[in-house]
Chains A and B, each alone.
Chain A
Amino acid sequence: MAKIISIEEAVQLIKEGSSVMIGGFMGCGSPHSIIDKLVEKGTKNLTVIANDTATTQYGLGKLIATKQISKVITSHIGTNPETGRQMNAKETEVDLVPQGTLVERIRCAGAGLGGFLTPTGIGTVVEEGKEKITVGGTQYLLELPLKADIALLAGAKVDKKGNVYYEKSTRNFNPIMATAADLVIVEAKEIVEVGEIDPNHVMTPGIFVDYIVGGGN
């Protein structure tokens, strides 16, 4: 059973040096309230795994601006010039991963798989240091699972068992990340009673969720 906690309690769970998955795509579907509270608390030396670093004013890009992230594993930093500046100045380590590979590595970790074979990145710098395996005459890269200490996610409706319903294009990385972290915290736009979300509409089953935080926006 997921436990409802305050946003203050939620950010206490994020320790210095933690690896943190953050849901969302350019801030759409990101846990904005938790991010804001984390900025306020100033927890440093985080390794963040997320699709992108949004902008300095929106989404998890705020944590880049405050230099709370020491390493980011992501597919795109182009919309947040500060990430690029910190990377070039060697202040922040940036590991760029093709988007489909990033999400599938997370999926593998959550699904108990040892990795997967993808044609993406063959013939590019992405293949450096990776094992190549040929199957049926096609060359693939072996990509390995990616997990985290904590996942910070956002849902439109979360019931008190932790079942999550996502609205529109906010789903993106959220349900995948929910499977691949030791501790999963979902920020809910609305916390509802058990039974209020039709089981047909549950997109992340509550068993994946440890803590629910209200007050999402």
Chain B
Amino acid sequence: MDKGRIREVIAKRVSQELQDGDVVNLGIGLPTLVANYVPDEIDIILQSENGFLGLGPAPDSDDIDMDLTNAGGQPVSIKQGGAFFDSATSFTIIRGGHVDVTVLGALQVDEKGNLANWMIPGKMVPGMGGAMDLVVGAKKVIVAMEHTAKGNHKILKECSLPLTAANQVNLIITEMAVIEVTEKGLLLKELGPETTVEEVIAATEVELIIPESINIMDV
């Protein structure tokens, strides 16, 4: 799979997890693409942690308004029925359990549902932004990422990088698999469109629970 197809597979599969009426926060990068694949009949409300509900797509260049940006500082739009608020209200929504689903990228994720996605000591220290609050507060936490990084495992027995949050991840969606975090460990639920069980096992550091029959992603 080329990069574009990998991103499409992941974003499309994540979009299938969303229910009509869900309040959803999409992280910067790959998770943002999920909005492009939400079926027309499903109406979700995107939350932007800088202070509004009803995040819409980037406007045409004529309509760019630097007073209306997303959490990455990029110009966006707001949908009809949306609402603006301050940052304390934004994190009341986030921390208070009013976000149904948050989708984030990861550097590492492990079998306990621990997530590391905010720093590599001595190298990259962007900061956690709103991620720590989102992962703790959202009802469902989906990690959307490429299965490996330059051949290195990202789904581990135990995260080695500083954690974003402990025991909060519910679902891991990659181009190779859908994996659920359960109390007994990581359960392989679906395979990617061009993937075998053996390939997933080889690309995953931690031992997976493999059911007798596994569906193929419908992407």
Contacts and interface: CB of A to CB of B under 8 A. Distances in A.
B87 A98 contact: no
A119 B96 CA distance: 10
Interface string B108-120: 0000001000000
A125 B116 CA distance: 11
Interface stretch (B2-10, B64-72, B207-215): B64-72
Contact of B128 (A75, A156, A168, A203): A75
A121 B118 CA distance: 12
B53 to A, nearest CB: 11
A92 to B, nearest CB: 12
B83 to A, nearest CB: 11
Interface residues of A, number: 49
A124 interface: yes
Place the interface of chain B in its size category: 35 or more
Contacts, number: 152
A147 interface: no
Given A124-B164, A168-B67, A79 B86 contact: no
Contacts of A123: 114, 163, 165-167
Interface stretch (B34-42, B43-51, B179-187): B43-51
Interface of B: 48-52, 65-69, 71-73, 78, 84-88, 90-91, 94-95, 114, 122, 124-133, 136-137, 162-167
Nearest to B166: A123
A168 B95 contact: no
Interface in A163-185: 166-176
Given A87-B125, A98-B128, A172-B50, A104 B71 contact: no
A217 to B, nearest CB: 9
Contacts of B124: 78, 84
B132 A120 contact: yes
A25 interface: yes
Contact of A168 (B84, B88, B162, B165): B84
Contacts of A107: 88
Interface of A: 25-29, 51-52, 54, 58, 74-79, 84, 87-88, 94, 96, 98-101, 103-104, 107, 118-126, 156, 166-176, 203
Contacts of A166: 84
A124 B85 contact: no
Given A26-B72, A124-B165, A156-B67, A78 B88 contact: no
